[in-house]
A and B are shown apart, each in its own frame.
Chain A
Amino acid sequence: MTVTELVSYEDALTTYDPVMGLEVHVELGTKTKMFCGCSTSLGADANSQTCPTCLGMPGSLPVVNAVGVESAVKIGLALNCSIAEWCRFARKNYFYPDMPKNFQTSQYDEPIAFDGYLDVQLEDGEIFRVEIERAHMEEDTGKSTHVGGATGRIHGASHSLLDYNRAGIPLIEIVTKPIQGAGERAPEVAKAYVAELRELIKALGVSEARMEMGQMRCDVNLSLRPKGVEKFGTRSETKNVNSLRSVERAARFEIQRHAAVLSSGGTIVQETRHFHEEDGSTTPGRIKEEAEDYRYFPEPDLVPVAPSREWVEELRKGLPELPRVRRNRLREEWGVSEHDMQSILNAGAVDLIVATTEAGADSAAARKWWMGELARRANEDGTDLAALAITPEQVARVAALVAEGSLNDKLARQTIEGVLAGEGDPDTVVEKRGLKVVSDEGALGKAVDEAIESNAAIADKIRGGKVAAAGALVGAVMKATRGQADAARVRELILEKLGVEG
C-alpha cells in the first residue's frame, strides 16, 4: 500500500472546489428475487435459494417482479423524479464469476425514474438540495468467499467459492447529478444525503436499508476543480463505502488526496478505489488494461415496462410523509431544538419515541427514557436502540407508572433494567422486585417520625424556620425506605409534622 501524502483539509478547500457524485444501491425487501420466484430470506443454506433463472442456466428466462417495479416507482416519486411512461431493461455485459449470466439485467438509457431531487438537512438545520439523475432497477450478484489467501481477501486466494442465493435480488440504483457548491461541507452533505435516503427508503417500506448488512451500499465519486473554474476535474470512484461515517470519511480523504496530487502538479487518474474502514483511507483498485465496454442493449427476454399514469398517481397518493418533513413536524410538536432532534435522529430514536407516545406516554417522558437511560444502555451494549429488549409499549408503561406516582425515577430505572434483563413486563418487574413507591401513609409516617427523632438537631433548625434543612431529613427517610418513597410526599410530611409551612 502506497502512503499518500495528504494536504490538510482546510488547505485543500482554500484552493479547490469539490464536485461529488453519489451512487447508492438499495436491495429491496421483496419476498422474491427480481426475475425469478426464489426466496430472498436471509440466512439460508448456500445455494438453496437458486433456480435455473438466477443460476443463469441454459434455457432459463427472467420474469419481472411486480413489487420490484412498484418499489422503484415509489422511490422515484419520493425522490421527486419523473416516472418513465415507457422504459426497458438492458443487459450490461461483462464477465465476473459472481454474475451467473455474465450480464447484469439493468437499465441503461431508459431508467424508470429520472430528474428528481432530495432535500437534506445538515446538522445546523441548513437545507441542501441534492439533485437526482436517475433511479433504475437491476439485480444483485452472488456472494464469493475467497479461500487460500490471507484473511479471505481476493488477492492471493487460491480459489473462490460461490453462493448464488443473493444473485438476482432486486436492486435500485440511485444516482445523483454532480453535487456542486457544497464546498467544505461536501463530506457532510454526502453523509446527510445517504442518511436521508436511508430514512426515506425505510419510510417507504421498500427495504430495511441496513448498511451493515449490505442492503444499502454507496459509491462516492469525487473530483476537484480549482476555485472559479467551471470544468470538472477527473474523478475517482470509491466503491462500497458502507456506513454513514465512512461516506463522510471517504469524501474527506479523497478531497485531501486529490488536492495533494493536483497541488504537486500531478494528474488524477480516473480509477476505482477501495475504502479502508481501519484508517479511512482509499487505495486504487486493479488497473484495467482497457476501458470497460459494457455493450448495453435492450433485454430481449423482457418486455418494456410502461407504468400507467393512473397507477403512478395512485402510488403517489399512498406515499408516506417524507422523513425530513415528518422530523420537522415532530420537532415542533415535541418542542425540541434542531440539535436535539439531530441527536434523536442519529440515535435512531425517532420512530421509537413516536411509538412510545402512541402507546400513551407524553413525548417528554418518551424522549427522556429513550435518549437517557436506554441510549446509555444501547451504547454500553454496542447495539441499536431498536435492538434493545424493551418495546415502546413497555417504556410507555414505565412512564405511566411514574406519572401516577407509583414509581420515582430511581425505581423506574430499576424497572427498565429488569425488563431489559428479561424479567418480564414493567408491572411484573415492579411486582417481583417490590419496587413500588411506599405510599402507605402509616408506614411513611412512621419512617418520618423515626427520622425526626434521630435527627433532633436538624428537626429543631427546621422548626426554627430553616426549611432548606428538610433535605437532610428527606434523605434519611429515603434511605430508610430504600428509595421506595416519593420524595415530594416525604418532604410534605416532614414539614407537616414539624408544623412548618413549605
Chain B
Amino acid sequence: MADLIKLTAAETAAKIAAGEVTAVEVTEAHLARIEAVDEKVHAFLHVDREGALAQARAVDAKRERGEKLGPLAGVPLALKDIFTTEGIPTTVGSKILEGWIPPYDATVTKRLKAADVVILGKTNMDEFAMGSSTENSAYGPTGNPWDLTRIPGGSGGGSSAALAAYEAPLAIGTDTGGSIRQPAAVTGTVGVKPTYGAVSRYGMVAFSSSLDQGGPCARTVLDAALLHEAIAGHDELDSTSIDAPVPPVVEAARNGDVKGMRVGVVKEFSGEGYQAGVMQRFNESVELLRELGAEIVEISCPSFDLALSAYYLIAPSECSSNLARFDAMRYGLRVGDDGTRSAEDVTALTREAGFGPEVKRRVMLGTYALSSGYYDAYYGSAQKVRTLITQDFEKAFEQVDVLISPTTPTTAFPIGERADDPMAMYLADLCTIPTNLAGNAAMSLPCGLAPEDGLPVGLQIIAPAMADDRLYKVGAAVEAAFTARWGHPLLEEAPSL
C-alpha cells in the first residue's frame, strides 16, 4: 500500500485501468495516509471519506462493466476549499463561512467528477486566498512536509502540502498573485497558473475576479498536464471564460524539449531580497536549459517594478467588493442578532468576528483605493500599470518563447516569521504577480534544494496567454534532466513524516 501513495497520477490511472489495483484500494491507501500524517501536516480542512470511497467504487464498477476509463479515472485529488462542493462544507479558510454547505458544485468540481477523479476532501488555505503562507487560515496553519515548522506557501498551502506529504497525487489550487506557484516552489511540487479564462471561475469563491485563476497542482509535469486538461475549457457560466480549444498540454508534457527554443531570463527578478541558494539553483537551471539546447536571452521588463504595488491596489479593491456579500443575511456566520440590533450592526459585528486580520486589512485597503478622491490616483493608476506590464510581456514574447525566473525570492520561511509584517509577506509573490496582472500562463517546478537550508527552490516558466502548452514542453524537459541528474524525483529527499 505504501507504494500506491508514491505513484504518479498517470501511473495510478494506468494501474486502475489495467486492473492491477482498484480505485477503492488507491483511495483507501490515501485515506490511510491522511489518517496517519494529516494531524501533523494539517493539509485538509475536511476529508470526505464516504464520498471519496463512493466515487472510487463507481470507477471500479465502470471498469468491471468494461467501460472506457478516462486518463485520471480513480485518481485521488485534494481540492482547495475555495471551490464549492454540493453537500460538502466550503469554508474558504474563513470563520465567516464555517459550516456552510453549498447547494451547488463549482464547474471545476463538476469536471473533476465527470473525469472520475476521486475528491478526497477540501484543503487548507489562507482565508479567502489572501496570503502566502496559509497562516491566515481561520482553522490553523499547515506545515510544510519538508519542515513542519515552516510555511507550505499560500494561499494554497494545503493543496501543495497534501502533494508533498503523499496524501494525494493531485490537487487543485487557485492563483491570484502566486497562490499555486509559490506553494509549489516551497514544497518541491509542480503548480500551474493557466492563462486567465482557461479554467472556469464559476463556483470558485472570488478573491480578486480579474486575477483569480484555478489550476492544477501535482508532483510531476505530466500529472499537472493531465489535470489541466480535465478542468480547463470554455464554461458558459463564466463570462470571462475563453471560448477556444485548450492548448495541447498533455502532448507537450509527453514531449518535453527545449532545443532551439529561445528562453528569456527576466533581469528584474534578481538582486536584493533574493536568497543566495535560490539564485544558485536558478542559475543552474539557466545553464541546464542552455545545455539542453535552448538559447538564453536576457530580457528587461521595467514595469515589473510596479507590479507588486499595482497588485496590492487591484486585488484589495476587487476583494472589498467581492467580500461584501458576507453580511450575515443569507448564509454563513451571524453574530449579535439579539432582536434589538439592526441588520447593519449585525453585519458589522459578524464581519468583525468572522474575518481575520489580513482580510480586514485588504478590505479596508480596497475600500480606501476605490473611495472617491482616491480612485484615479490608486485604482486608475494600478490599471495603467497593468497595461504597461502586459506591454512588457508582449515585447518580451516577441523575442523569446518563454521567460524564466525563480518562483519566489526565498525558500519556505518559518511559521510566524512574517505573520505581522504584511509588507514582508507580500514580497513572497514578487516574481509571480506580473503574470496575474497580464493574464498569461506560468508554471513552477522544482529545480533543487537551496544549499543553505536544504529546502526546495522553484523555477518559474512564463508563457504567453493561450500558449500554456509551452510551459509543459519546457517543464517536462527540465524535469527529466533534473531527475536524471539527481537520480530520483526531488521530493524523495524530503524527510519522512
Contact = CB atoms under 8 A, between A and B. Distances in A.
Interface of A: 52, 55-64, 91, 93, 95, 97, 100-103, 158-160, 162, 293, 295-297, 300-303
Interface residues of B, number: 45
A301 B104 CA distance: 19
Given A293-B371, A297-B379, A103 B104 contact: no
A317 B102 CA distance: 47
Contacts of A295: 320-321, 367, 370-372, 375
B201 A61 contact: yes
Contact of A95 (B239, B344, B375): B344
Given A59-B202, A295-B367, A102 B324 contact: yes
B450 interface: no
Given A95-B324, A300-B210, A57 B331 contact: yes
B173 interface: no
B324 A60 contact: no
Interface string B323-336: 01111011100000
Interface in B61-97: 83-84, 90, 92, 97
A297 B321 contact: yes
Top-8 shortest CB links A-B: A102-B324, A295-B370, A300-B209, A300-B210, A59-B203, A58-B205, A56-B325, A59-B84
A91 B372 CA distance: 14
A58 B371 contact: no
A61 B237 contact: yes
B417 interface: no
A63 B344 CA distance: 29
Majority secondary structure of chain A interface residues (helix, strand, loop or mixed): loop
18 contacts: A57-B84, A57-B325, A58-B84, A58-B97, A58-B206, A58-B325, A59-B83, A59-B206, A60-B202, A61-B237, A63-B236, A63-B239, A93-B320, A93-B321, A295-B370, A295-B371, A300-B209, A301-B239
Contacts of B206: 58-59, 301
Contacts of B318: 297, 300
B389 interface: no
B467 interface: no
Contacts of A56: 325, 330
A60 B84 CA distance: 9
A301 B343 CA distance: 27
B343 to A, nearest CB: 5
B378 to A, nearest CB: 11
Contacts of A302: 239-240
Given A93-B370, A301-B201, 6 more contacts: A59-B106, A61-B238, A61-B239, A162-B329, A295-B372, A302-B240
B205 A59 contact: yes
B298 to A, nearest CB: 34
B435 interface: no
Contacts of B343: 97, 160
Contacts of A100: 325, 330
A288 B98 CA distance: 33
B339 interface: yes
Interface in B173-220: 201-206, 208-210
B289 to A, nearest CB: 36
A99 B339 CA distance: 21
A64 B344 contact: no
Interface in B342-362: 343-344, 347
Nearest to B326: A58
Interface string B222-265: 00000000000000111110000000000000000000000000
A71 to B, nearest CB: 19
B397 to A, nearest CB: 23
Contacts of A162: 329
Contacts of B375: 295, 297
Contacts of A101: 324-325
B206 to A, nearest CB: 7
A256 to B, nearest CB: 34
A297 to B, nearest CB: 6
Contacts of A301: 201, 206, 209, 239-240
B460 interface: no
B317 interface: yes
A52 B107 CA distance: 13
B273 interface: no
B273 to A, nearest CB: 30
Contacts of B209: 300-301
Select the residue from A159, A300, A301 with max chain B CB neighbours within 10 A.
A300
A379 B333 CA distance: 54
B236 A57 contact: no
Contacts of A93: 320-321, 324, 370
A52 B240 contact: no
A64 B326 CA distance: 23
Given A101-B324, A297-B317, A57 B102 contact: yes
A100 B84 CA distance: 18
A55 B330 contact: yes
B495 interface: no
Nearest to B202: A61
A58 B333 CA distance: 13
B103 interface: yes
A102 B325 contact: yes
A89 to B, nearest CB: 10
A61 B199 CA distance: 14
Contacts of A158: 339
A64 B239 contact: yes
